[in-house]
Structure 1
Amino acid sequence: MKSMDNIEDTENFGDMGNMEKDRHSERWVTREGILDEQQITGRQILYQGLNGRHVERFTAQSGQSYIFKPLTNSAQYGRERWMYEHVMAQLPPVYPQLIAASDQAAAPSQSWMIYEDMGQLEHHLCESTLPTTAAHMAAWHALPVAAWEELPRVGHKPPIRDMLHELRLYQSGTDELLCSLNLALSAADWDKLTMLILTAEDELPQVLCHGDLHPGNVAEVEGRLVILDWEHAHLNTPLWDVYHLLDLSHPLFPRTMTPGLRARVMKVYLDKLESLGVQVEGGSFAKWYDAYAIVFSLWMLRMINGDLKNPDCVWPQEQLRNQWHETAATLEQCMGHLDGMRE
């Protein structure tokens, strides 16, 4: 593995302009893949990954700050680096610049990347940022994917068909969950949901998906939209990204979605696709989305219920309960369109 004796010893992916002062800096990252406290002047933990490693802001001896991101999920080893090498240059500049990275041969435990520090990020997916994000999402969904066959077809959650299968396999538990919300799905409703999802999976193209487009990965800094953390990128139908943008709940990043806002953002997305030469029939897409959101939200509620019962869950109970209610609201809103789906 290459050590970061100076910037020329690492593989550089970004503009070197603000790096000149540190071109001959001493080592920032040890051979073990951790920040060397003796060679930096400050550090701040931003968050902890699933494997316990920390993403940090650190300050070099020049006074310039950067973001140090070790591999936080072994299942995503190499994915974000691959995205920066093969894909990101084709996107608008809505992502942080990758300054340097460990050697490609580095073991997962020694793998790291260093990004530009964009400053204080505000994670608020609201009526102003949602349409802008949806338009950018449509742009990357319109990109040809033939050259990116290396990307997986599965994200960090099961495929929608597997979610549907799981809900049907444990039908009694699913029915109890619906009953607790004063909701119900008949056998005919399940058949319709299944038909809509399978049709959407067959008719919609495979597109580049960010994969984890929840509010925590969308931010603004000084009026600039930033989309973070591309390590879950994969090929899927566009419904995966659309659901994550509009309705995926997260315990740390609550938000409120209404039917009116959902419809407005969906229109921005479809209009942008059309402007890029991608034709999608809006009525069919809306029905497919509602079916997708019903199944995904039911699956999420089952998962959150499991987290609420798990004494070792990392999320506080209050935040999980808020996430549960937010997901239930999405379910109720989309189930309100069932009559239209039956037509």
Structure 2
Amino acid sequence: MNEHLRVKQWVTTEGELDERHVKGRETLYQGWNGRCVERFIGADGCSYIFKPLTHPDQYGKEQWVAEHVLPALPPIYPRLIAASSPGTAPERSWIVYEDLGRLVHDSSEETMIAAAAQIARWHSLPAAQWAGLPRHGHKPPMDRMLDELLELGQTVNEMLANLGIHLTVDQWKRIPVWIRLSSAALSPVLCHGDLHPGNIAASEGRTVIIDWEHAHLNNPLWDVYHLIDLSHPLFPRRVSPELRERVLEAYLDGRERHGERAERVKRSSFVQWYHAYAFVFSIWMLRLIEGDLRREHCVWPEDQLRNQWRETAAALNQCAAALFGQTTGPHERPERGIE
């Protein structure tokens, strides 16, 4: 009996681990729908990762990516061992992955630079082979974020002013120009889609990238922003302008190693576009976090959200400084948020 069929017998028709074949289990985290991702010991004595569908919008996507996209990459991802049969109802669907061991999500410079090199590698693959992938992930595309912020106008200006960022009309006009220039000059690439610090790890001396269910085709800046500046309530980190510069350099070095001379644009242009992209994305993230803080019942604890807000505000300040030469001091989030 092959490995797939053997492991498949350890899961019931209801999409749950069968206690008769499981020697031990450990909950790793709980998904949005309440179902849990678990590490378990199978009947063969080996350790595996059991991942039921944790969000209905992702039905079928993760398995498709594991089967059709990930084999083109180096072994930086967990291997798919078994999965529920096609047509299985979403509430009973599941995947079993190999267990890569204890993952360290330290967001150290070494890990971020190693991840930048890997991102450059998969960004250099011909995207045409994945024409069936969507063009955006579970967050709005950048052009929609930008349009939303421009429509908000004064509300965004007031939020920036509370952070000590004061842009002139001419400075504001440069932001959409840089965003649109990057969109025109940088070809869509395979993007992981959700490359926050919890999905990047070190394991036994190698870089590991997990949770590829949001893979799609997009501007390469999407993945690079997630790597460097996307904050997460569960995985705090500190990014300085110097670290940001080194990670960007590692990414661009990687693109050149794989035959892409920064998409035939100057490095200085790519770096400028990155800061504009991160500026817009960080404003959008701050508004998202503000909404979570106002919500009466939120999945994240308030202190973790406040720390995420501070990290995102710091990234926004640093990007403003890089683009316009503005420097600001530390700021605390108002108690009830930005009205």
For the criterion TM > 0.5, the same-fold answer is: yes
Which portions of structure 1, spanning 4 or more consecutive aligned residues, are displaced by more than 4 angstroms?
A: 6-9
Shift of 1:187: 2.1
Distance 1:134 1:338 in 2: 22
Amino acid at match of 1:290: H
Aligned residue for 1:64? 46
List per-residue Cα deviations over 1:31-75 (Å, max 9, x = no partner). 111112233122111111122211011112332221000111221
Q: Among residues 285, 289, 295, which one is paired with 1:300 in the alignment?
A: 285
Q: Indicate which of 18, 22, 25 corresponds to 1:43.
A: 25
Amino acid paired to 1:120:
R
Tell me: CA distance 1:160–1:9, structure 2 relative to 1, closer, same or farther (3 Å). closer
Find the aligned partners of 2:2 and 2:62 in 1 and give their Cα distance. Answer: 20
User: What SS does the corresponding residue of 1:31 show, helix, strand or coil?
Assistant: coil
Which of 200, 204, 209 is the equivalent residue of 1:227? Answer: 209
Is there any run of 5+ residues in structure 1 with no aligned partner, and where?
Answer: 1-5, 11-22
Q: 2:87 aligns with which of 95, 105, 110?
A: 105
Aligned partner letter, 1:182: G
Structure 1 pair 166–130 and aligned structure 2 pair: CA distance change class (3 A): same
Partner of 1:239: 221
Distance 1:224 1:196 in 2: 35
Distance of 1:179 and 1:340 partners within structure 2? 16
* Equivalences for residues 118-129 of structure 1 within 5 A: 118-129=100-111
Letter in 2 for 1:38: R
Task: After superposition, give the CA deviation of every residue in 1:261-317 in whole Å (9 maximum; x if it has no partner).
Answer: 111111111111112111222011011101100000000000001111112111000
Report how far residue 26 of structure 1 moved: 8.8
- Alignment equivalent of 2:77, drawn from 76, 95, 98: 95
Q: Report the counterpart of residue 177 of structure 2 in structure 1.
A: 195
d(CA) in 1 for partners of 2:169 and 2:119?
35
Contact kept in structure 1, 2:84 and 2:93, CA below 8 Å: yes
Q: Relative to structure 1, is the Cα distance of residues 185 and 9 closer, same or farther in structure 2, using a 3 angstrom cutoff?
A: same
Q: CA RMSD in A?
A: 1.7
Match of 2:267 in 1: 282
Structure-2 separation of matches of 1:210 and 1:28:
30
Amino acid at match of 2:309: W
Name the count of aligned residue pairs.
323
SS in 2 for 1:213: coil
Paired residue for 1:209? 191
Offset at 1:174? 1.1
With normalisation by structure 2, the TM-score equals: 0.91
Q: Which sections of structure 2, spanning at least 5 residues, go unmatched?
A: 327-339
Give me the whole-angstrom Cα distance separating, in 2, the residues matched to 1:189 and 1:48.
43
Give the secondary-structure state (helix, strand or coil) at the position aligned to 1:190: helix
Q: Which of 152, 155, 160 pairs up with 1:173?
A: 155
User: What secondary structure sits across from 2:182 in the alignment?
Assistant: helix
- Aligned-partner SS, 1:128: helix
Counterpart CA distance in 1 for 2:274 and 2:80 is 34
Supply the distance in 1 between the matched residues of 2:260 and 2:325 (Cα, whole angstroms).
Answer: 25
Which letter maps to 2:87? A
Distance in 1 (CA, whole Å) between partners of 2:301 and 2:143 is 30
Answering whether residue 311 of structure 2 is matched by residue 326 of structure 1, we say yes
Matched with 2:334 is: none
Greater mean alpha carbon deviation, residues 32-41 or residues 294-303: 32-41
Q: Which residue identity does 1:207 align to in structure 2? A: V
